[in-house]
Structure 1
Amino acid sequence: MRIAVLGGTGLMGKLVVAEAEGKGHDVVIAARSTGVDISTGAGLAGALEGVDAVVDVSDHVTNSAKKAVAFFETAARNIAAAESAAGVRHHVVLSIVNCDDPRLKAFGYYRGKAAQEQAVGASGIPFTILRSTQWFEFGQKTVSLMGFGPLALVPRMRSKPVAAKTVAEALVQAVEKGPSGRVADLAGPEVLEIPDMTRKILRHHGTKKLLIPVSMPGAGKAMRSGALLPGADSISTGPSLDEWLATN
């Protein structure tokens, strides 16, 4: 199968590419660095030529709801138009658990992902939407984005973090299964406090940082109280944090 991975040079994109190639698929890596810009549509036609399925793991980090919604809706329209023209038969998109929860509406990025899901559902292209919880890698990413010398701010959040590689495997399985609509949410096996998780990861790697837990504006209380946790019909799968650290 010929698969285009949008955002194929990012953390998740690289894992999806490796997983798909390992299963014998022909993979097209689509990102700005390869001449594809989903926000404008530039390069999409060429990237999707002869493609059977698209995996969208592209990202746009912002907490402005206006900017997030505009980006994800525009990108979804551009992608769908190119898919229709190229005859793509399946669109797989990675989303976030509870991105449409009213308790989290103050978190603009989540509103953007919810808008993306709606646009994908209305696109006319057969689709699969997979939501996952935060990844273990989220801890280190937060420190890199919100680190200031020896200090780093870490959001107070309760989640069931999952390994990014596990999510990549699920995305490729979704491609192979075919269009399935919204599938069961994917989560890790343990409920963890993100500051505690991050602290443990940094200690494992010998990184010395003073972590300062902070509440996210607007949605902080909800994130602390469990709004990020998946429902009872979700799929929880390993590795655990300790198992993941043993190989990372």
Structure 2
Amino acid sequence: MKIVVIGGTGLIGSKVVSKLGEHGHEAVAAAPNTGVDTITGEGLAEALAGADVVVDVSNSPSFADADVMEFFQTSTANVLAAEEAAGVGHHLALSVVGTERLQDSGYFRAKQAQEKLIKDAKTPYSVLHATQFFEFVTSMANAGADGDDVRFAPVLFQPMASEDVADAVVKVATAAPLNATVEVAGPDQYRMDEFFRDALPLRGDQRTVVTDPDARYFGAELGERTLLPGDGASLGEIEFFEWPGRDGSRH
């Protein structure tokens, strides 16, 4: 199959392109640095010509509320229109577990808007919700920074390796459209505050992790299970404290 990966040069996209190629598919990395701009539409029709599946793992370059909404609405609308014109049979988007429960956050309102566009379009679709990536440990800590402290709520979450995310994307992309949302998560649940208290020192990050029940996650209030998947979620295999990149090195 010809599978076009929007955001195909990023953390997840590059892994997806590589894995699809290993499975014998024609995988096309579509991103601004490969001549495809989903905001302006440049190169989009050419990239999608003859495509069977489009996988969208792109992300907004800015997380400011207005910017991220503009990105996901414009990019997704342009991709969906190009898909319909090209006769693409399956659109797969990567989104986030708990998106519908995180609507206090401008980022997650934008992801919800993206998902609505996909579900309302004519192209058969699948939406894959994944939990937080191990690779984002430092950026998540920075988002919770308060001076020399980092504040996290004592809620449950179930992070996963990008390698496992990419495997899940490939599995869904090469199957029939689900016209539904499915979830994938890491193998282990942690209390967020306790996890970061153990994880940050592995990276030489000596900031103090403060347990704060009112700490927000990218602007959203968190309940005990807001970030957890449902019972039917697929689980990755890689455990954080066995993961080679846990010290902040690139893997």
Q: Bin the TM-score by the shorter chain.
A: 0.7 to 0.9
Matches within 5 A, 1:146-165: 151=148, 153=150, 155-156=152-153, 158-165=156-163
Which stretch shows the higher mean deviation, 227-236 or 11-20?
227-236
Choose which of 181, 184, 187 in structure 1 pairs with 2:185: 187
Gaps of 5+ in 1: none
Q: Distance in 1 between matches of 2:173 and 2:111?
A: 20
- Specify the SS of the correspondent of 1:113: helix
In the other structure, the counterpart of 1:77 is 77
Distance change (3 Å), C-alpha of 1:228 and 1:25:
same
Corresponding residue number in structure 1 for 2:67: 67
Indicate how the Cα distance of structure 1 residues 186 and 217 shifts in structure 2: closer, same or farther if over 3 A, else same. Answer: closer
Cα–Cα, structure 1 residues 23 and 140, in superposed 2: closer, same or farther, change >3 Å? farther
Deviations 1:72-123 (A, max 9, x none): 122111001111122211111001112112xx21111111111111100111
- Aligned-partner Cα distance in 2 for 1:171–1:42: 25
Counterpart-to-counterpart distance in 2, 1:129 and 1:152: 36
How far does the alpha carbon of each residue in 1:132-166 deviate from its partner, in whole angstroms, 9 at most, with x for none? 11111120333577789x95746546311111111
Q: Per the alignment, do residues 151 and 175 of structure 1 end up closer, same or farther by CA in structure 2, a change over 3 Å counting?
A: same
The 5 Å alignment of 1:34-73 reads 34-60=34-60, 61-64=62-65, 66-73=66-73
| TM-score normalized by the length of structure 1 | 0.85
Q: Give 1:42 shift.
A: 1.7
| 2: CA distance, partners of 1:155 / 1:10 | 27
Q: Contact conserved, 2:15 with 2:163, CA < 8 A, in 1?
A: yes
Q: Structure 1 CA distance, aligned partners of 2:13 and 2:149?
A: 26
CA separation of 1:199 and 1:125: change in aligned 2, threshold 3 A: same
The 5 Å alignment of 1:1-248 reads 1-60=1-60, 61-64=62-65, 66-101=66-101, 104-143=102-141, 151=148, 153=150, 155-156=152-153, 158-205=156-203, 207-213=204-210, 215-216=215-216, 219-221=219-221, 223=222, 225-245=224-244
Number of matched pairs: 242
Specify the code of the residue in structure 2 equivalent to 1:228: L
Contact kept in structure 2, 1:204 and 1:245, CA below 8 Å: no
How many angstroms apart in 2 are the aligned matches of 1:57 and 1:181? 17
Distance change (3 Å), C-alpha of 1:152 and 1:83: farther
Give the % identical residues.
34
The AA in structure 2 aligned to 1:62 is F
Show CA shifts across 1:60-80 (max 9, x none): 14151x433332122111001
| Cα pair 2:143 2:218 within 8 Å, conserved | no
Structure 2 unaligned segments of length 5 or more: list them: none
